[in-house]
Amino acid sequence: MASSAALSTESSAPAAVEWLLSPSPVPYEAALEAMDARVGAILQGRAPEAIWLLEHPPLYTAGTSAAPEELLDPPRFPVFGSGRGGRFTYHGPGQRVAYVMLDLSARGRDVRAFVHALEAWLIATLARLGVEGERHEGQIGVFAGEAKIASIGIRLRHWVSFHGVSLNVDPDLSHFAGIVPCGRTSPVTSLAALGVDADMRRVDAALRSAFEETLGAVSANACR
């Protein structure tokens, strides 16, 4: 690919979801631009559905339900309005972000079921890594015990999704102190904090395998 944030393709959509990887941290605004272009291409039938794995530099994002008072330390990191659902969240090195650009017209057009499926994907991923992930009643995301380990925030355009999920692999957990994460005072944890091997390649392999199990087949590609 031409750049770490270039996602568009001119091929017609195959049955499998395209699996994309950016090896270097991607600036948030560049990611938004790339997702926007890819969603447009999916809607026009010029590109397949895609899962994009990446990391971001340290930053906070505000979802459509974010309350200003939940940003506790505004000068700490850049803050971006995201347009996704949810409230404030943190992204940074050591956190695997997976942006999901999937066509819900072919998946039932049921947003609640789609979020449930994303949670199932994360729980299956954690199981492959030796962690028991669970849902908490009335909350979106996945928990390890009482601590949140993965978040979900999506947006739809004509039933094609973008934004997605984030899994804490080995981020600096103190960075979450600048916000009220997802509007909750629950603690936040990571694979590394739980004593799990936090090699990102191992995590990516688990994400891919679990995705095939819960949401469908993928095809490999590298996003350079």
Say what the pLDDT of residue 22 is. Answer: 96
Task: List the structure tokens of 165.
Answer: 């999920």
pTM of the shown model = 0.86
Confidence of residue 183 (pLDDT cuts 50, 70, 90): low
Q: Is residue 96 part of a domain?
A: yes
Residue 46, in any domain of the structure: no
Number of domains observed in the structure of the chain = 1
pLDDT at 216 > cutoff 70: yes
Q: Is residue 104 part of a domain?
A: yes
What tokens were used for 177? Answer: 């102190």
Q: Collapse the DSSP code of 130 into the 3-class scheme (helix H, G, I; strand E, B; otherwise coil) and give the result.
A: coil
Helices then strands, each counted (H, E), the chain: 3, 10
Amino acid (one-letter) located at 85: G
Query: What average pLDDT does this structure show over 69-75?
Result: 81
Q: What is the DSSP string of 165-218?
A: EEEESS--GGGGGGB-GGG----B--TTTTT----HHHHHHHHHHHHHHHT--E
Given 31, 167, 182, 206, which residue is catalytic?
Answer: 182
Q: Does 51 reside within a domain?
A: no
Asked if the structure places residue 88 within a domain, the reply is yes
Q: Is residue 22 part of a domain?
A: no
> Residue 210: how many CB atoms within 10 A of its CB?
20
Q: Is residue 43 part of a domain?
A: no
Do the Cβ atoms of 162 and 190 come closer than 8 Å? no
In a domain, 130, yes or no: yes
Q: What percent of the chain has pLDDT over 90?
A: 63
- CATH classification at residue 148: 3.30.930.10
Q: Is 222 a residue whose pLDDT tops 70?
A: no
Give Cα separations from 50 to 21, 103, 128 (angstroms).
10, 9, 22
Percent of the chain with pLDDT over 70: 88
C-beta of residue 38 within 8 angstroms of C-beta of residue 50: yes
Average pLDDT over residues 191-209: 95
Please state, in angstroms and rounded to a whole number, the distance separating the CA atoms of residues 174 and 3: 31
Report long-range pairs for 124-128 (Cβ below 8 Å, ≥24 apart).
Answer: 124/210, 124/213, 124/214, 125/167, 125/203, 125/206, 125/207, 125/209, 125/210, 126/150, 126/206, 127/210, 128/206, 128/209, 128/210
Active site residue 223: no
Domain around 96: 56-215
User: Of all helices (H) and strands (E), which one includes residue 125?
Assistant: helix 111-128
- Among 57, 147, 133, smallest CA distance to 95 is for 57
